[in-house]
Amino acid sequence: MKNSFLLLLAVLSVSCSMSRYMATDVTCADISDVARFETMSEVTVINKIKRTTPDDSLSQAIGERIDGIVSAQSPFPLLPEEITFSDTMEMKAIAEDLLVLAQAVENRKSSGSKKERAIPIFTTHRIDSIVTARGVNQAMMVVHVGFTRTTGNMVGNVVLGVGLGVMTTIASGGLFSFYTVPVKANSAMHVFIVDRERKKLLFYDNAFIQNEPHKDKILTKQVNKIFKEI
Protein backbone atom coordinates (compact mmCIF):
# COMPACT_ATOMS: atom_id res chain seq x y z
CA MET A 1 0.00 0.00 0.00
CA LYS A 2 1.03 3.60 -0.48
CA ASN A 3 3.13 5.28 2.22
CA SER A 4 0.48 7.96 2.72
CA PHE A 5 -1.97 5.29 3.86
CA LEU A 6 0.65 3.87 6.24
CA LEU A 7 1.12 7.35 7.72
CA LEU A 8 -2.61 7.67 8.32
CA LEU A 9 -2.68 4.35 10.14
CA ALA A 10 0.40 5.31 12.13
CA VAL A 11 -1.41 8.39 13.40
CA LEU A 12 -4.22 6.22 14.66
CA SER A 13 -1.73 3.91 16.37
CA VAL A 14 -0.58 6.63 18.76
CA SER A 15 -4.09 7.54 19.84
CA CYS A 16 -4.30 4.60 22.20
CA SER A 17 -4.44 6.80 25.28
CA MET A 18 -8.02 7.64 24.46
CA SER A 19 -10.77 6.15 26.59
CA ARG A 20 -13.97 4.61 25.31
CA TYR A 21 -16.46 6.93 23.67
CA MET A 22 -20.22 6.34 23.51
CA ALA A 23 -22.62 9.00 22.26
CA THR A 24 -24.47 10.40 25.28
CA ASP A 25 -27.95 9.91 23.80
CA VAL A 26 -27.30 6.34 22.66
CA THR A 27 -27.55 3.04 24.51
CA CYS A 28 -26.27 -0.34 23.42
CA ALA A 29 -29.82 -1.25 22.46
CA ASP A 30 -29.78 1.56 19.89
CA ILE A 31 -26.85 -0.07 18.09
CA SER A 32 -28.15 -2.99 16.05
CA ASP A 33 -28.09 -4.44 12.54
CA VAL A 34 -24.59 -3.05 12.18
CA ALA A 35 -22.87 -3.54 8.84
CA ARG A 36 -19.21 -4.47 9.25
CA PHE A 37 -16.67 -3.13 6.79
CA GLU A 38 -13.58 -5.20 6.09
CA THR A 39 -10.75 -4.44 8.50
CA MET A 40 -8.21 -1.85 7.41
CA SER A 41 -4.89 -3.40 8.44
CA GLU A 42 -1.32 -2.28 7.79
CA VAL A 43 1.58 -4.24 9.28
CA THR A 44 5.16 -3.15 8.68
CA VAL A 45 8.25 -5.37 8.86
CA ILE A 46 11.50 -3.83 10.10
CA ASN A 47 14.52 -5.64 8.67
CA LYS A 48 18.17 -5.91 9.73
CA ILE A 49 19.24 -2.82 7.80
CA LYS A 50 16.62 -0.75 9.60
CA ARG A 51 14.24 -0.40 6.66
CA THR A 52 10.50 -0.56 7.14
CA THR A 53 8.40 -2.33 4.55
CA PRO A 54 4.62 -2.72 4.58
CA ASP A 55 3.73 -6.38 4.17
CA ASP A 56 0.51 -6.45 2.15
CA SER A 57 0.06 -10.23 2.33
CA LEU A 58 0.53 -10.32 6.10
CA SER A 59 -1.71 -7.27 6.52
CA GLN A 60 -4.49 -8.90 4.52
CA ALA A 61 -4.20 -12.16 6.46
CA ILE A 62 -4.33 -10.32 9.79
CA GLY A 63 -7.29 -8.26 8.61
CA GLU A 64 -9.18 -11.43 7.77
CA ARG A 65 -8.39 -12.89 11.21
CA ILE A 66 -9.65 -9.74 12.89
CA ASP A 67 -12.83 -9.90 10.82
CA GLY A 68 -13.55 -13.35 12.19
CA ILE A 69 -12.75 -12.45 15.79
CA VAL A 70 -14.85 -9.28 15.69
CA SER A 71 -17.79 -11.15 14.16
CA ALA A 72 -17.62 -13.75 16.92
CA GLN A 73 -17.08 -11.36 19.84
CA SER A 74 -19.11 -8.26 18.94
CA PRO A 75 -21.78 -7.41 21.55
CA PHE A 76 -23.57 -5.44 18.86
CA PRO A 77 -25.78 -7.39 16.42
CA LEU A 78 -23.97 -7.50 13.09
CA LEU A 79 -25.38 -8.04 9.63
CA PRO A 80 -24.07 -11.32 8.14
CA GLU A 81 -22.45 -9.86 5.03
CA GLU A 82 -19.10 -8.08 5.20
CA ILE A 83 -18.77 -4.86 3.20
CA THR A 84 -15.61 -4.48 1.16
CA PHE A 85 -13.99 -1.30 -0.07
CA SER A 86 -13.98 -0.61 -3.79
CA ASP A 87 -10.24 0.00 -3.87
CA THR A 88 -7.31 1.34 -1.88
CA MET A 89 -8.30 4.93 -2.65
CA GLU A 90 -11.70 4.46 -1.03
CA MET A 91 -10.07 2.78 1.98
CA LYS A 92 -7.58 5.64 2.27
CA ALA A 93 -10.41 8.19 2.15
CA ILE A 94 -12.16 6.43 5.03
CA ALA A 95 -8.89 6.25 6.99
CA GLU A 96 -8.45 10.01 6.57
CA ASP A 97 -11.93 10.68 7.90
CA LEU A 98 -11.50 8.30 10.80
CA LEU A 99 -8.54 10.46 11.82
CA VAL A 100 -10.96 13.34 12.11
CA LEU A 101 -13.24 11.32 14.38
CA ALA A 102 -10.32 10.05 16.48
CA GLN A 103 -9.07 13.59 16.97
CA ALA A 104 -12.57 14.70 18.00
CA VAL A 105 -12.65 11.97 20.66
CA GLU A 106 -9.27 13.12 21.95
CA ASN A 107 -10.50 16.72 22.09
CA ARG A 108 -13.58 15.70 24.08
CA LYS A 109 -11.46 13.72 26.50
CA SER A 110 -9.21 16.69 27.19
CA SER A 111 -12.09 19.13 27.56
CA GLY A 112 -13.05 20.10 31.09
CA SER A 113 -16.55 21.11 30.04
CA LYS A 114 -19.30 18.55 30.58
CA LYS A 115 -21.51 20.47 28.17
CA GLU A 116 -18.88 20.31 25.44
CA ARG A 117 -18.32 16.60 25.98
CA ALA A 118 -22.05 16.05 25.42
CA ILE A 119 -21.95 17.58 21.93
CA PRO A 120 -22.25 14.86 19.27
CA ILE A 121 -19.23 13.92 17.15
CA PHE A 122 -20.56 14.15 13.63
CA THR A 123 -19.33 11.95 10.82
CA THR A 124 -17.94 13.29 7.57
CA HIS A 125 -19.69 13.54 4.23
CA ARG A 126 -17.46 10.85 2.75
CA ILE A 127 -18.27 8.37 5.50
CA ASP A 128 -21.99 9.12 5.14
CA SER A 129 -21.77 8.73 1.37
CA ILE A 130 -19.90 5.41 1.46
CA VAL A 131 -22.24 3.95 4.08
CA THR A 132 -25.27 5.20 2.14
CA ALA A 133 -23.93 3.73 -1.09
CA ARG A 134 -23.77 0.33 0.61
CA GLY A 135 -27.45 0.62 1.58
CA VAL A 136 -26.95 0.40 5.35
CA ASN A 137 -27.48 2.73 8.29
CA GLN A 138 -25.03 1.79 11.04
CA ALA A 139 -21.54 0.63 10.17
CA MET A 140 -18.56 -0.73 12.10
CA MET A 141 -15.09 0.15 10.86
CA VAL A 142 -11.98 -1.48 12.29
CA VAL A 143 -8.46 -0.10 11.84
CA HIS A 144 -5.41 -2.15 12.78
CA VAL A 145 -1.76 -1.10 12.53
CA GLY A 146 1.36 -2.76 13.84
CA PHE A 147 4.96 -3.63 13.23
CA THR A 148 7.15 -6.66 13.64
CA ARG A 149 10.85 -7.31 13.12
CA THR A 150 13.02 -9.80 11.33
CA THR A 151 15.35 -11.86 13.53
CA GLY A 152 18.32 -10.12 15.13
CA ASN A 153 17.51 -6.45 14.59
CA MET A 154 16.24 -5.38 17.99
CA VAL A 155 18.94 -2.84 18.87
CA GLY A 156 19.09 0.56 17.20
CA ASN A 157 16.16 0.16 14.85
CA VAL A 158 13.99 3.08 13.94
CA VAL A 159 10.26 3.05 13.31
CA LEU A 160 7.97 5.69 12.01
CA GLY A 161 6.51 7.79 14.81
CA VAL A 162 3.63 10.20 14.47
CA GLY A 163 2.12 12.43 17.15
CA LEU A 164 -1.47 13.54 17.52
CA GLY A 165 -0.23 17.11 17.68
CA VAL A 166 0.77 16.99 14.03
CA MET A 167 -2.18 14.91 12.87
CA THR A 168 -3.61 17.59 10.59
CA THR A 169 -0.28 18.22 8.91
CA ILE A 170 0.32 14.52 8.32
CA ALA A 171 -3.17 13.96 6.96
CA SER A 172 -2.44 16.60 4.32
CA GLY A 173 0.82 14.92 3.33
CA GLY A 174 3.22 16.98 5.41
CA LEU A 175 5.45 16.59 8.45
CA PHE A 176 6.46 13.35 10.13
CA SER A 177 9.32 12.28 12.38
CA PHE A 178 11.44 9.30 13.36
CA TYR A 179 12.36 8.05 16.82
CA THR A 180 14.03 5.01 18.33
CA VAL A 181 11.67 2.49 19.87
CA PRO A 182 13.14 -0.36 21.97
CA VAL A 183 10.10 -2.53 21.34
CA LYS A 184 10.16 -5.72 19.32
CA ALA A 185 6.63 -5.45 17.98
CA ASN A 186 3.31 -3.79 18.57
CA SER A 187 -0.34 -4.07 17.62
CA ALA A 188 -2.91 -1.27 17.77
CA MET A 189 -6.60 -1.76 17.05
CA HIS A 190 -9.37 0.84 16.75
CA VAL A 191 -13.11 0.23 16.39
CA PHE A 192 -15.59 2.88 15.21
CA ILE A 193 -19.37 2.60 14.82
CA VAL A 194 -21.07 5.33 12.82
CA ASP A 195 -24.73 6.07 12.14
CA ARG A 196 -25.77 7.44 8.74
CA GLU A 197 -29.21 8.71 9.78
CA ARG A 198 -27.89 10.48 12.88
CA LYS A 199 -24.74 11.44 10.95
CA LYS A 200 -22.57 10.88 13.99
CA LEU A 201 -20.13 8.61 15.76
CA LEU A 202 -21.90 6.22 18.13
CA PHE A 203 -18.99 4.25 19.58
CA TYR A 204 -15.19 4.26 19.65
CA ASP A 205 -12.55 2.35 21.58
CA ASN A 206 -9.04 1.05 21.05
CA ALA A 207 -6.53 -1.45 22.36
CA PHE A 208 -2.73 -1.35 22.18
CA ILE A 209 -0.37 -4.22 22.99
CA GLN A 210 3.41 -4.37 22.63
CA ASN A 211 3.44 -7.79 21.07
CA GLU A 212 3.35 -9.51 17.69
CA PRO A 213 0.48 -8.16 15.55
CA HIS A 214 -0.02 -11.51 13.78
CA LYS A 215 -0.74 -13.66 16.84
CA ASP A 216 -4.37 -14.71 17.16
CA LYS A 217 -4.25 -14.59 20.96
CA ILE A 218 -3.05 -10.97 20.83
CA LEU A 219 -5.74 -9.93 18.36
CA THR A 220 -8.40 -11.73 20.43
CA LYS A 221 -7.18 -10.00 23.59
CA GLN A 222 -7.47 -6.62 21.89
CA VAL A 223 -10.99 -7.28 20.62
CA ASN A 224 -12.07 -8.49 24.06
CA LYS A 225 -10.65 -5.34 25.66
CA ILE A 226 -12.55 -3.10 23.26
CA PHE A 227 -15.86 -4.92 23.79
CA LYS A 228 -15.42 -5.48 27.53
CA GLU A 229 -18.41 -4.66 29.75
CA ILE A 230 -20.70 -3.56 26.95
Considering 4-8, 69-73, 118-122, 182-186, the range whose residues carry the highest mean pLDDT is 69-73
> For residues 173 and 8, which has the higher predicted lDDT (pLDDT)?
8
Instruction: Specify burial of residue 26 (Cβ count, 10 A radius: 0-12, 13-18, 19+).
Output: middle
d(C-alpha 227, C-alpha 72), whole Å: 11
**Is the alpha carbon torsion for 129, 110, 187, 158 positive or negative?**
positive
| pLDDT of 194 strictly over 90 | yes
| pLDDT of 163 strictly over 50 | no
d(C-alpha 195, C-alpha 139), whole Å: 7
Question: 3 pLDDT band (50/70/90 cuts)?
Answer: low
Percent of the chain with pLDDT over 90: 50
Specify which residues 82 forms β-bridges with: 36
Q: What predicted TM-score, i.e. pTM, was given to this entire model?
A: 0.82
**Structurally, how many domains does the chain consist of?**
1
Domain of residue 66: give its range. 3-227
| pLDDT of 176 strictly over 70 | no
> For residues 151 and 37, which has the higher predicted lDDT (pLDDT)?
37
